[in-house]
Amino acid sequence: MFPWESYHDGPNALPFTVDITHPSEPRARSKHCDPNMFDGSPCSECAIVHKHISWLVEIARDPKAHTNYKYLGLAHMQDIAKMYAAQVKELKLQACNDSRKYMTSLTQLNDYSRLLMAISENDVPRLQQIIKIALDNGTSVREVVNRLEDAIEGVYHPRGYGSSDIDIATLVYHRVPSIRTLRARSTFTTITPTIGPIWPEQFDENIHNIILNTRDSTTSLRGVSFMIDEMALEEMVIHFGKYNMIGGLCWKHSNLVDPVLRTYDSAVRIAQKIHNQEVHLGKEVTVIGVACFGEDELYPVLAAPTCKTENAADMEGILTRAIEHWSATGADTLVGPVWSFAMDGDATRRAAGHRLFVKKPLSSNSPLYATLSDMPGLNTVTTGMSRAICV
């Protein structure tokens, strides 16, 4: 327990030296001892050494709480080190507990945020019933959000009746037409989805099934207008059981994957391509529709998911194929020729339309020249097609 740390000649050193030649009988001597004393009694400086030793003994036995470390012995320093090590462990444990509390709080905040987003962005059926049942059952916020998502996707059908249900029940009570009658007297439009790249066969099949097979052959020919635009699309893949293929991938890059689900590895490869951004989920769906002048019906002939990376050349190819296959299927002679191609202000489509449709000035021999030439500001540059004028 002896404070050997202070046994030196510098500042704060002990005022005496220790002789341990005989360890069983150590002797202390003041550093300022008077060597001229010969009577066997200690000098005045050595006489007070025992006071310093008593003070050291007191410190060694019971040091004060704030005693400077330089006055403590090795054993006390070891005790202090153990105490600080225990405090460090306790603080680490407390930090871990606090971290868990913070993560739990962040998770709860995220769940509440998901709940608000689900309610604000979607028309959730039976919203009140879902939340009421969940609260009655003590369900967590995360489980409530999962129930809302299931209800949006149609997987979960909460019980309850609204005004629309009462209206339907009233119609049933009054004996509305049966499903067979509805199918016989109504027209249901079923479009062939675009799975993978856009192929010419998709235009042919949709033109035949949606337009040529549903129109009366006695209907007179009418001018036709093609229209193109994007629609909102939920970014997700979907399995078309009829074709055993994966849809929902952008048409431009879907040639990099095989959409056919042959094995489990096929699905893994598609997921890996999506993860590596080699192929993308469709952000929107590009829709091309056909309308006849003088009629209200609109006939879709293309629905292709897009990742919005098409350039003018890609769009020009789509527009060209749409017009070419309108003629190739005979729709121009059975329904009517293409008179116009309408599109919004998208820069890519405008560039494609300018390349495709703005080629030659309207001939002065055209029956429309006399009328259009008197309209200042009207662009009379056309495709030069003999049977159609696209402006």
Residue 70 has pLDDT above 70, yes or no: no
* Mean pLDDT comparison of 25-34, 109-118, 302-311, highest-scoring range: 302-311
pLDDT at 73: 67
Query: What's the average model confidence in pLDDT over 127-145?
Result: 77
Exposed / middle / buried, residue 210 (Cβ in 10 Å: 0-12, 13-18, 19+): buried
Query: Within this chain, do residues 301 and 160 fall inside the same structural domain, yes or no?
Result: no
Residue 176 lies in a domain: yes
What's the CA gap between 385 and 391, in Å, rounded?
12
Q: Which of 10-14, 100-104, 134-138 has the lowest mean pLDDT?
A: 10-14
Q: Does residue 142 or residue 263 have the better pLDDT?
A: 263
pLDDT at 60: 67
Query: Within this chain, do residues 170 and 208 fall inside the same structural domain, yes or no?
Result: no
The set of long-range contacts for 141-149, using a CB threshold of 8 Å and a minimum separation of 24, is 141/108, 141/111, 141/112, 141/115, 142/107, 142/111, 142/114, 144/115, 145/111, 145/114, 145/115, 145/118, 148/115, 148/118, 148/119, 148/122, 148/124, 149/118
Residues 165-211: pLDDT tens digits? 787 888 777 777 777 777 777 767 788 888 989 988 989 999 998 88
Query: Within this chain, do residues 162 and 211 fall inside the same structural domain, yes or no?
Result: no
Query: Within this chain, do residues 136 and 282 fall inside the same structural domain, yes or no?
Result: no
Residue 6 has pLDDT above 60, yes or no: no
Q: Are 244 and 258 in contact (CB under 8 A)?
A: no
pLDDT at 329: 92
Residue 68 lies in a domain: yes
Residue 83 lies in a domain: no
Portion of the chain with pLDDT greater than 70, in percent: 87
Residue 300 lies in a domain: yes
Query: Within this chain, do residues 221 and 345 fall inside the same structural domain, yes or no?
Result: yes
Pairing of strands 338-343, 224-232: parallel
Q: Does residue 198 or residue 138 have the better pLDDT?
A: 198
Residue length of the chain: 391
Residue 164 lies in a domain: yes
Query: Within this chain, do residues 243 and 346 fall inside the same structural domain, yes or no?
Result: yes
Residue 18 has pLDDT above 60, yes or no: yes
Which residues fall within 8 angstroms of residue 219, CB to CB, at 6 or more apart?
335
* Mean pLDDT comparison of 137-141, 158-162, 263-267, highest-scoring range: 263-267
Residue 386 has pLDDT above 50, yes or no: no
Residue 91 lies in a domain: no
Query: Within this chain, do residues 296 and 334 fall inside the same structural domain, yes or no?
Result: yes
- The model's confidence at residue 86, banded by pLDDT at 50, 70 and 90, is very high
Residue 387 has pLDDT above 50, yes or no: no
Please state, rounded to an integer, the average pLDDT across all residues of the chain: 81
CA distances from 390 to 193, 340, 373 (A): 27, 4, 16
Query: Within this chain, do residues 143 and 168 fall inside the same structural domain, yes or no?
Result: yes
Residue 4 has pLDDT above 60, yes or no: no
Q: Which of 90-94, 141-145, 192-196 has the lowest mean pLDDT?
A: 141-145
Exposed / middle / buried, residue 371 (Cβ in 10 Å: 0-12, 13-18, 19+): exposed
Query: Within this chain, do residues 210 and 149 fall inside the same structural domain, yes or no?
Result: no
Q: Which of 129, 156, 186 is the last residue of a domain?
A: 186
Query: What's the average model confidence in pLDDT over 139-143?
Result: 79
Query: Within this chain, do residues 173 and 240 fall inside the same structural domain, yes or no?
Result: no
Q: Which of 186, 205, 226 is the last residue of a domain?
A: 186
Q: Does residue 184 or residue 158 have the better pLDDT?
A: 184
Least Cα distance to 389 among 372, 314, 49, 295 occurs for 372
Residue 147 has pLDDT above 90, yes or no: no
Residues 321-377: pLDDT tens digits? 999 999 999 999 999 999 888 888 888 888 888 888 888 888 888 888 888 888 888
pLDDT at 279: 92
Residue 125 has pLDDT above 90, yes or no: no
pLDDT at 385: 59
Residue 391 lies in a domain: no
Question: How many domains are there within the chain?
Answer: 3
Query: Within this chain, do residues 142 and 202 fall inside the same structural domain, yes or no?
Result: no
Query: What's the average model confidence in pLDDT over 114-126?
Result: 73
Domain of residue 181 covers 102-186
Query: Within this chain, do residues 296 and 200 fall inside the same structural domain, yes or no?
Result: yes
Residue 130 lies in a domain: yes
DSSP code for 249? B
Q: Which of 281-285, 297-301, 336-340, 374-378 has the lowest mean pLDDT?
A: 374-378
- For the chain, the distance separating the N- and C-terminal CA atoms, rounded to the nearest angstrom, is 104
Residue 76 has pLDDT above 50, yes or no: yes
pLDDT at 390: 42
What is this structure's pTM? 0.53
